[in-house]
Structure 1
Amino acid sequence: MRKLFSYVLSLCLLVGLFAFNGGTAEAATGLTIKDLAGRTVTFDRTPKRVVVLSPGDLHTLQALGVQVVGRPTSATPVDASLQSVPQVGNIHQPNFEKIVSLQPDVVIAGTSFLGHIQKAQSLGLKVVITSGSSVNDIKSSITLLGKLFNKAQKAKVLVGKIDSKVKKYSKTKTKVRAVILFGSGASSLVALPTSFSGDVLAKAGGENIAASFSQLKDYPGYANLSTERIIASNPDVIFIITHANHAETKKAMIKLMSTSSWRNLKAVKNKNVIFLPSELFAASPGVKITNALDHMNKELLKVRAKMKK
């Protein structure tokens, strides 16, 4: 009888520990993950105090139900639940003093943060790198964060929604020939199919006229603006992604389109010069990639409808 009582007591304690740890044994065994930069990062337990440096990852963490103690600095309005969360800079200009003061268990950042990794580690910060260079990268990042925060099932559902959207648009070949400009005026870059926005264009049913342009070494996924090649290709639509000061950038792009080299293009004459929302296209929007796909497909179908008239 005594042995039976001891066995039952031990079983109850084990079940209690399992429940306390949210259904995993990670508190006892720890957690080791490989991030999207190929780095191995180990944790004693699921991170609780989370700092995030990009809006896309913030959207993903919100969708997974993960609370943050630090969020990226941004002029874009955020949900009411996040307004009191301290801003900590971004992946290009992190506020390390602020980040350290928040005592995070983990800092979530995109690949552009890799140049700051050494400093972050010298400050005792654990960093997990995500990526948003393509739709598949975003899916991998969601899966990674799901594993890190013990939200694997939620992550699987979110990835499934993206897969469903991609499958839906894979049947849509609009035959609309497009170019995507990123930047301001004549100093803009052209998005290649290997860029995030170029990948969205392809998966939403469009054709990228810059597929054969040469990639820049310092800006993977982008090429220099070649007015001559764009004129020769004569796209049906020109998509523009602005950055920094939106009003000034838009003004510069409109001025460029009014020059003799550009104004005779089909896209300009037919008023198919479209400014894409920065929050969806300037960088990875995380789980809101489904919104980006919807938006791009909708614009492509509008252009195709005008072409048929």
Structure 2
Amino acid sequence: MSQHSNRITFGMIGLLLVVSILFLLKGQAQPADNQAPARYQVTDSAGRQVEIPRRPQRVIVLNASNLELFYAVGGTVVGRPTTEALPEAVKAAVRQVPAIGITPNPNIEQIVALRPDLILGVNMPFHHNLIPVLNKAGIPILLQALENYQQIIDTLHFYGELTGQPEQAAAVIAGIEARYETVVKNTKNHPAPKVVIVWGSPESFHMATARSFTGDLVKRLGAVNVADAGDHSGGQMGYVPLSMEYVAKQNPDKIFLITHSPDEKTNGKIRNDLVNHPAWRGLKAVATNQVHLLPYNLFAVNPGTQVGEALTVLAGFLYPEVTQP
């Protein structure tokens, strides 16, 4: 082969090597996230298939519990509910974020004006009613249920993926589960008290079943909830109407009261009205002063990452002989 041919051959090889190197560098420059679609489908708690961004950038949360969980795993929002039912750290973090109204009645015009790429709401009729308008605006809304302990854990996992912070979510979950296991272990092999959980306001009263958040925790702690027995269980319902006579017949060891209001004066009146009702005057729980008003911030709304604290409060009332963590 001539010297001229060798130069051509070596030149072609050099060119191919340069092209190959550039191609490899280009491939390495692609972020791993580009391998996954920018949007994907999820099923929310209402059973709806919803297409959402894999990494949403402009999130609005419509209720306190989801907001607290979202912030716990590194999320930020462009709109939030008008509520005081938040831990102080979350209140401080969202103080400058526009409020879009109370959870049952958010301002839809303000929501749309904030141009969200994802809305997190609850699986309740007042948020179902927002779907037609949001669909027309091209804004996805997920309706989340937070009705028991496991749903808190699952939601933290999901929000960790949404925020791109799965490790932070895993750390938060590990802390919750460690406290949960300690409390449950401490309360095992103790006599199971019989309880009723009353959810009330001056206008109406209901009993919480195992399908409610507090009822789920009571069940996990081994107590017997009278609302889960017989015809009063409500099937798939979280709450059933309160029957004073039925409770009197069951004669529970403990009565837990949850109210709609953080106002101590109002709550004191509700408690006194129940305790002094003729049907309840002879109850074991009343006679032994075992009628407990549960903290508003831990039980009137789902406590999110504070579920360990809620569990500890309940365990302290159910098993006062056991030292709680």
Secondary structure class of the residue paired with 2:142: strand
Does structure 1 residue 130 correspond to structure 2 residue 144? yes
CA spacing shift, 1:26–1:295, aligned 2, 3 Å? farther
Q: What pairs up with 1:184-263 in 2 under 5 angstroms? A: 184=201, 187-212=204-229, 213-215=231-233, 220-244=237-261, 246=263, 247-263=265-281
- 8 Å contact kept, 1:108–1:130: yes
Larger radius of gyration: 2
Aligned to 2:15: 2
Contact 2:206 2:239 in 1 (8 A): yes
Kindly indicate whether the alpha-carbon contact (under 8 Å) linking 1:183 and 1:249 is maintained by their aligned counterparts in 2.
no
Question: TM-score under structure 2 normalisation?
Answer: 0.82
Summarize the Cα distance change of 1:53–1:256 in structure 2 as closer, same or farther, 3 Å threshold.
same
- What is the rounded CA distance, in whole Å, between the counterparts of 1:256 and 1:44 in structure 2? 49
Deviates more, 1:251-260 or 1:98-107: 251-260
Q: What SS does the aligned partner of 2:18 have? A: helix
Shift of 1:45: 4.6
1:52-131 to 2 correspondences below 5 Å? 52-76=61-85, 78=88, 79-112=91-124, 113-131=127-145
Please report how far the alpha carbon of residue 130 of structure 1 lies from its aligned counterpart in structure 2 after TM superposition. 1.5
TM-score in terms of structure 1 length: 0.86
How many Å separate the matches in 2 of 1:141 and 1:199? 17
Q: Of 19, 43, 49, which residue of structure 2 is paired with 1:40?
A: 49
SS at match of 1:25: helix
Question: Where do 4+ consecutive residues of structure 1 move more than 4 Å?
Answer: 26-29
Indicate the larger mover: 73-82 or 287-296.
73-82
Q: Secondary structure at the match of 1:24?
A: helix
**RMSD of aligned Cα (Å):** 2.5
Contact kept? 2:64, 2:85, Cα under 8 Å: no
Any idea what SS the aligned residue of 1:157 has? helix
1:196-240 Cα distance to aligned partner (Å, 9 max, x none): 1100112234221221153559x9211111111111111111111
Question: Where does structure 2 lack aligned partners over 5 or more consecutive residues?
Answer: 1-13
Q: Identity rate of aligned residues, in percent? A: 30
Any stretches of 5+ residues in structure 1 without a counterpart? none
* Further displaced range: 150-159 or 285-294: 150-159
Alignment: residue pair count: 299
1:50 aligned to 59, 67, 88, which one?
59
8 Å Cα contact 2:82/2:103 also seen in 1: no
Residue in structure 2 matching 1:278, options 296, 307, 317: 296
